């Protein structure tokens, strides 16, 4: 069975290629392709109990306690009643089973929700509404506007001209830009003719199921003709149909075989570092238990040989020494089993559940605008949040909002966008209280657009030629499409948000793009509608880094408008622009220093005769069979020269709120952040500088973009040698022995200086395949690593590489379906619940709405959870080891007879009642410093990364401390009661009095020790500690009464002991002395360490105690980066879009006839970008609307929220 849990996914042999015949279920079923049904649940009513118990008893601890219970029902070796083990075991099994049942019920509910969605399927010439689960490969289905794509489909036809459709791929790649797909003409001609579609019997031969989202290869054979199929003809599950009334598609892949599901990654059971350490420690404890039992069994044999025969008169028994020692071994296995109490696991689950609720209840992690609280979707990983060393982050939608805003511009040597104080001449910081420019003069202005420099509007109204030419270029030079369903209500569909922001800016400043056809572009210039003839689009690609349009204005004048990267445009300017270029360069430096993405604008007037001759050569080159691209590039170079500079634009790729501050704080906590993004290199670099991941102050930023393994290896090696010239080839690997395995661990290497690494997808593929250790070693020496153009699979591979070779805890954070595999691969997965869908959230362990909340999740909740869990474990092992070791010492004084030193009631209640609540109170409420100091001093996080609070060494120290305490707890009461007399002259040295004194000393001592461990006393802690002590004395007096003795003499044999013993003053002095001797070494050791070797926690707590003022509030400073670095080309759309615009394949419904003229009153509702200020979101809808979103197709793979521990 595959990891999707689908029976239909079973394959006898690996699929090499897929063959599909449309409308032929019988033929397709012979290949046993997966159906669209999803099954993620584990149990059904009949299998739940046996399967769940089988899974639970695979845990060593549960199986161990079941074994103990079996021993306790054997009278010959049992000295404890069976209920001391069965009650805790049943409690643990019941609680865990209830939790698993609730999780599986949620999975069943999610499965039904997805499988029962409805879609129209063409069956026998009729459209029938079918459930998703009944859709099969080869079916033809009909999708309607805003519907989720049911499965991976071959697009057949659509409602739009030339069979175009528009899809949103946010669930796949986190991008809200609308993508265009187009059907083949041969299938598009069928339209919505059901008879033609039902008669369609084309055969598809294509690639087998895989996880490549950006590639598809196949062929369609129809009417003896074969047609090539690529990714442009395929709709992937997880997409949403937008702005298209309907379309028909042929199902290629269904259910778990869709590319979306193939990218999910395998769900693995995540365990914390403490859990893994606990497994090792439990095995050690079992060994210690066996060793102690062997020692006592040998002691029993020696005692029986020397003195046992003297007791036959009192205790008749067989004189078989070996058999007696054998029984003694198993008896002590039962008595000493409290070294691994089952209540330990119950308490750990309760602590994790409580700390999970703290995350859910934290108002500082609540995002009010979207009404999104933080959510701990799993309750088993909280303490792992306190040990994170590496963070792997997506860019779009995680660090950025995927919203572009037009912030500033430079026109003819003058910079616009800053607000200047007229009295001081100083630049003012733009705030929300500042009044924006009033665009009420423009009835078509976008009300969402905000701009604060009023001088630019005045320049527009003064009709300055250069300013008009600037915005005219922005309104003409683009590939945006406009839709106007009613008068004045413009909706822009841009392939990249950059273009959308520029066109929206031109719209507000009076140059409104209204509509286009393959031959014309219609704009409204200051209220006057003008139609420009579109003669050519010189499209963008990664080499050109620019795009141009050639247009003829209504007066017949020919012009070329160009925009692109500054370095590219400057090489093609007329020499007369040199002075203007110098001023513009200064402005570009200022813009880039603020992290803005810049473009340079230029134009050129063309001669009619020259253009006619150039156009003829362009046509010949465009139909050439050989070297077509090279010939076109030469023609573009020829015409795009001697241009005149107009100015430059500055767009902000808006970061999520608080991203830069969060990254700064996490860096102080010694957390390394790697950005793994599918964006192009320049975009990723720009964001790296914007959020201070990359800084001008760095010694160097290495760029690895080679296309061969040898070149990649050499570049990585050169970078490593520059960072650390004295490095040796094999000294960076250190062996680490874990349970017999010796995996290689790449150790950290000291580097002088700060370095960054940027590597693209092609180079990363070589690095991960042939030189993963070389890449990892070089990357780990850098402060920041940015991997761009990476696939979802590569993201997961990078995470796995760090997990495999670095002894560090990893966290992955993302917001789209392309981040799911990375989120599942990391130790901790965090989903951002944003406008890019819920795929990442459904697969995550924790989720919230903003990247900035990661700072509080780690530095506050993660650190507290780890600290509390470590304190809990140290104290729990201490109190139980101390409790158990007293039995060990007592054995030497009771003839190794397996008699208990305490009474049965105390043994049963010690972990369940007397010491349970105090340690839980500490584990739920303790904090060394409050949340404000935790955020103010991120260095407090570092000890968690180094596992300083709980480790094998800390465990051994705890065991030694317990050994010492148990010696004091046994021998001080023993010496104090030896040959003593009560106040009334009677003998006070009986077994029952000694047992009561010992257990009283133990209870008081562990409570005093807990008080020393507590850093933060609350009312609850006081209640638990004093209440537990009170409960001990109350139950002790109650259980030692005559009434209970008469009811059950064998269980309540200590009748009257409490009353007779605890009224003696020497008993209380013994209790006080014992407690003092037990805690005195601890106090002395801690005082010595805090004075001589203070930890960061000691220093901060001392600082807090000395300061009278409260903790500082978190700082919200605005980080402004100044540099001389200019950003690259600001576009992110794909190559070839210009050809689509001019090929008549993009046409939508005709625009309404537009009236002209400006009216001062009223503004069009127009285009509504998502986000704040001048934000443009290519979907044209409100960001994060608070509405009930239909569950997506990946929901069946979500990490079901734990509703109980």
Catalytic residue among 394, 539, 566, 928: 394
CB–CB of 179/190 below 8 Å?
no
Q: What six digits make up the tokens of 645?
A: 């500079």
Other Cβ atoms less than 10 A from the Cβ of 685: the count is 22
Q: What six digits make up the tokens of 891?
A: 């054995």
Dihedral sign, CA of 1182, 1187, 1193, 1199? positive
E strands within 78-145?
A: 118-123, 126-131, 140-144
What interhelical angle do 709-723 and 772-780 show, nearest 10? 30
Q: Write the DSSP string, 1043-1081.
A: HHHHH-TTT---TTHHHHHTT-HHHHHHHHHHHHHHHHH
- Non-local (6+) Cβ contacts of 392 within 8 A are 674, 675, 676, 795, 798, 799, 802, 810, 811, 812, 813, 822, 826
Pairing of the two strands 828-832 and 846-848: parallel
∠ CA 901-907-909, rounded to 5°: 150
Q: Which of 160, 178, 158, 163 is nearest to 240 (CA)?
A: 178
The verdict on whether 566 is a catalytic residue reads no
Residue the block writes with tokens 């093609």: 572
Give the integer Cα–Cα distance in Å for 745 and 738. Answer: 12
- Non-local (6+) Cβ contacts of 288 within 8 A are 339
Give the integer Cα–Cα distance in Å for 8 and 426. Answer: 70
For the chain, the first-to-last Cα distance in angstroms comes to 29
Q: State phi, psi for 775 to the nearest 5 degrees.
A: -65, -45
Classify residue 250 by its DSSP letter. Answer: E
Classify residue 492 by its DSSP letter. Answer: E
CB–CB of 157/244 below 8 Å?
no
CB–CB of 233/182 below 8 Å?
yes
E strands within 487-593?
A: 489-493, 511-516, 520-525, 528-538, 546-552, 558-564
Q: State phi, psi for 186 to the nearest 5 degrees.
A: -65, -35
Q: What six digits make up the tokens of 161?
A: 């001209």
- Non-local (6+) Cβ contacts of 1110 within 8 A are 932
- Non-local (6+) Cβ contacts of 112 within 8 A are none
What interhelical angle do 952-977 and 991-1013 show, nearest 10? 140
**Alpha-helical regions (H) of 342-480:** 343-361, 454-461, 465-476
Q: State phi, psi for 857 to the nearest 5 degrees.
A: -60, -40
Give the integer Cα–Cα distance in Å for 184 and 696. Answer: 50
Q: Which of 207, 367, 170 is nearest to 1194 (CA)?
A: 170
Q: Which residues of 413-434 are buried (b: 16+ CB within 10 A; e: fewer)?
A: bbbbbebeeeeeeeeeebeeee
Q: Which of 1, 21, 23 is nearest to 10 (CA)?
A: 1
Residues carrying an active site annotation: 394
């Amino acid at each position: 069975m595959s990891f999707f849990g689908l029976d239909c996914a079973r394959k006898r042999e690996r699929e090499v290629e897929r063959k599909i015949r449309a409308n032929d279920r019988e033929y397709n079923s012979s290949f046993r392709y997966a159906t669209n049904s999803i099954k993620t649940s584990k149990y059904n009513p009949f299998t739940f109990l046996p399967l769940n118990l089988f899974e639970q008893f695979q845990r060593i601890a549960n199986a161990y306690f079941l074994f103990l219970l079996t021993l306790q029902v054997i009278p010959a070796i049992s000295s404890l009643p069976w209920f001391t083990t069965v009650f805790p075991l049943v409690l643990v099994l019941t609680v865990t089973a209830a939790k698993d049942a609730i999780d599986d019920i949620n999975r069943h509910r999610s499965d039904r929700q997805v499988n029962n969605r409805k879609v129209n399927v063409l069956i026998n010439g009729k459209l029938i509404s079918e459930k998703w689960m009944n859709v099969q490969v080869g079916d033809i289905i009909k999708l309607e506007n805003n519907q989720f794509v049911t499965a991976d489909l071959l697009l057949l036809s659509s409602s739009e001209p030339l069979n175009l459709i528009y899809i949103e791929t946010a669930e796949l790649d986190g991008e809200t830009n609308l993508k265009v797909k187009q059907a083949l003409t041969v299938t598009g001609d069928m339209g919505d003719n059901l008879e033609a579609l039902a008669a369609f019997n084309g055969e598809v031969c294509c690639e087998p199921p895989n996880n490549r989202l950006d590639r598809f290869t196949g062929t369609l054979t129809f009417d003896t003709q074969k047609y090539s199929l690529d990714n442009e003809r395929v709709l992937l599950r997880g997409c949403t149909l937008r702005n298209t009334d309907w379309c028909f598609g042929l199902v290629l892949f269904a259910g778990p075989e869709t590319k979306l599901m193939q990218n999910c990654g395998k769900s693995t059971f995540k365990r914390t570092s403490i859990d893994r350490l606990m497994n090792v420690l439990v095995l050690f404890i079992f060994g210690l238990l066996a060793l102690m039992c062997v020692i006592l069994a040998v002691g029993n044999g020696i005692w029986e040989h020397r003195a046992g025969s003297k007791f036959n008169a009192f205790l008749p028994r067989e004189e078989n020494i070996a058999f007696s020692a054998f029984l003694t071994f198993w008896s002590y296995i039962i008595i000493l089993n409290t070294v691994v109490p089952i209540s330990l696991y119950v308490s750990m689950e309760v602590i994790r559940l409580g700390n999970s609720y703290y995350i859910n209840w934290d108002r500082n992690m609540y995002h009010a605008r979207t009404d999104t609280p933080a959510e701990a979707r799993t309750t088993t990983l909280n303490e792992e949040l306190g040990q994170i060393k590496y963070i792997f982050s997506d860019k779009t939608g995680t660090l950025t909002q995927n919203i572009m805003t037009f912030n500033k511009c430079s026109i003819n040597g003058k910079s616009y966008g800053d607000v200047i104080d007229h009295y001081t001449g100083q630049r003012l910081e733009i705030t929300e209280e500042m009044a924006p420019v009033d665009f009420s003069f423009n009835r078509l202005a976008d009300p969402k657009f905000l701009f604060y420099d009023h001088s630019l509007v005045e320049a527009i109204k003064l009709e300055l030629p250069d300013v008009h030419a600037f915005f005219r270029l922005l309104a003409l030079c683009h590939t945006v499409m406009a839709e106007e369903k009613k008068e004045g209500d413009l909706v822009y569909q841009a392939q990249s948000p950059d273009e959308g922001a520029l066109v929206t800016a031109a719209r507000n400043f009076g140059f409104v793009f209204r509509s286009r056809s393959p031959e014309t572009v219609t704009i409204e210039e200051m209220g006057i509608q003008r139609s420009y003839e579109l003669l050519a689009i010189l499209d963008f690609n990664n080499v050109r880094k620019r795009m141009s349009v050639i247009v003829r204005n209504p007066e017949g004048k020919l012009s070329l408008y160009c925009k692109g990267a500054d370095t590219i445009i400057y090489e093609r300017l007329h020499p007369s622009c040199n002075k203007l270029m110098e001023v513009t360069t200064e402005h570009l430096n200022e813009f880039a220093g603020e992290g803005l993405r810049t473009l340079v604008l230029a134009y050129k007037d063309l001669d009619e005769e020259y253009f006619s001759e150039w156009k003829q050569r362009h046509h010949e080159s465009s139909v050439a069979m050989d070297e077509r691209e090279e010939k076109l590039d030469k023609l573009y170079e020829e015409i795009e020269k001697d241009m005149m500079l107009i100015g430059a634009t500055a767009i902000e790729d808006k970061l999520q709120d608080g991203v830069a501050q969060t990254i700064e704080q996490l860096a102080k906590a010694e957390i390394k952040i790697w950005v793994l993004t599918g964006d192009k290199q320049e975009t990723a670099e720009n964001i790296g500088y914007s959020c201070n991941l990359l800084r001008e102050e760095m010694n160097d930023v290495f760029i690895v973009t080679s296309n061969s393994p040898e070149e990649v290896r050499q570049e990585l090696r050169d970078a490593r040698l520059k960072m650390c010239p004295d490095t040796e080839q094999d000294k960076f690997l250190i062996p680490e022995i874990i349970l017999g395995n010796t995996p290689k661990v790449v150790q950290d290497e000291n580097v002088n200086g700060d370095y960054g690494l940027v590597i693209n997808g092609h180079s990363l593929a070589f690095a991960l395949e042939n030189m993963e250790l070389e890449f990892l070693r070089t990357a780990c020496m850098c402060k920041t690593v940015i991997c761009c153009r990476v696939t979802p699979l590569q993201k997961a591979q990078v995470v796995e590489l760090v997990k495999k070779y670095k002894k560090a805890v990893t966290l992955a954070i993302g917001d789209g379906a392309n981040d799911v595999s990375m989120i599942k691969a990391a130790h901790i997965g965090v989903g951002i619940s944003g406008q890019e869908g819920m795929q990442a959230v459904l697969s995550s362990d924790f989720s919230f709405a903003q990247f900035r909340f990661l700072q509080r999740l780690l530095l506050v909740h993660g650190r507290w959870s780890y600290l509390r869990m470590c304190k809990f474990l140290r104290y729990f092992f201490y109190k139980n080891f101390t409790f158990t070791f007293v039995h060990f010492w007592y054995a030497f004084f009771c003839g190794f007879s397996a008699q208990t030193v305490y009474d049965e009631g105390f043994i049963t209640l010690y972990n369940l009642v007397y010491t349970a609540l105090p340690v839980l109170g500490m584990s739920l409420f303790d904090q060394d410093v409050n949340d404000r100091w935790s955020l103010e001093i991120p260095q407090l996080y570092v000890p968690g990364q180094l596992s300083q609070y709980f480790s094998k060494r800390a465990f051994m120290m705890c065991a030694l401390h317990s050994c010492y305490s148990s010696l004091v707890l046994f021998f001080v009461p023993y010496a104090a009661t030896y040959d003593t007399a009560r106040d009334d002259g009677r003998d006070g040295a009986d077994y029952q009095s000694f047992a009561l004194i010992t257990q009283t000393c133990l209870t008081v001592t562990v409570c005093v020790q807990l008080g020393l461990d507590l850093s933060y006393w609350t009312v609850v802690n006081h209640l638990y500690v004093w209440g537990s002590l009170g409960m001990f004395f109350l139950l002790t007096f109650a259980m030692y009464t005559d009434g209970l003795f008469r009811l059950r003499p064998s269980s309540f044999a200590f009748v009257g002991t409490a009353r007779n013993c605890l009224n003696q003053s020497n008993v209380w002095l013994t209790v006080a002395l014992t407690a003092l001797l037990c805690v005195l070494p601890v106090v002395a050791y801690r005082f010595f360490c805090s004075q001589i070797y203070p930890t960061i926690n000691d220093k901060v707590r001392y600082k807090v105690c000395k300061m009278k003022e409260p903790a500082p509030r978190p700082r919200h400073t605005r980080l402004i980066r100044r540099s001389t670095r200019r950003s690259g080309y600001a576009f992110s759309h794909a190559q070839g879009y210009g050809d689509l615009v001019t090929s008549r394949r993009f046409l939508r419904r005709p625009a309404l006839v537009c009236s002209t003229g400006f009216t001062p009153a009223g503004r069009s509702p127009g285009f509504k970008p998502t986000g704040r200020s001048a934000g443009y979101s290519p979907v044209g809808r409100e960001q994060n609307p608070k509405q009930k979103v239909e569950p997506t197709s990946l929901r069946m793979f979500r990490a079901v929220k734990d509703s109980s521990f």
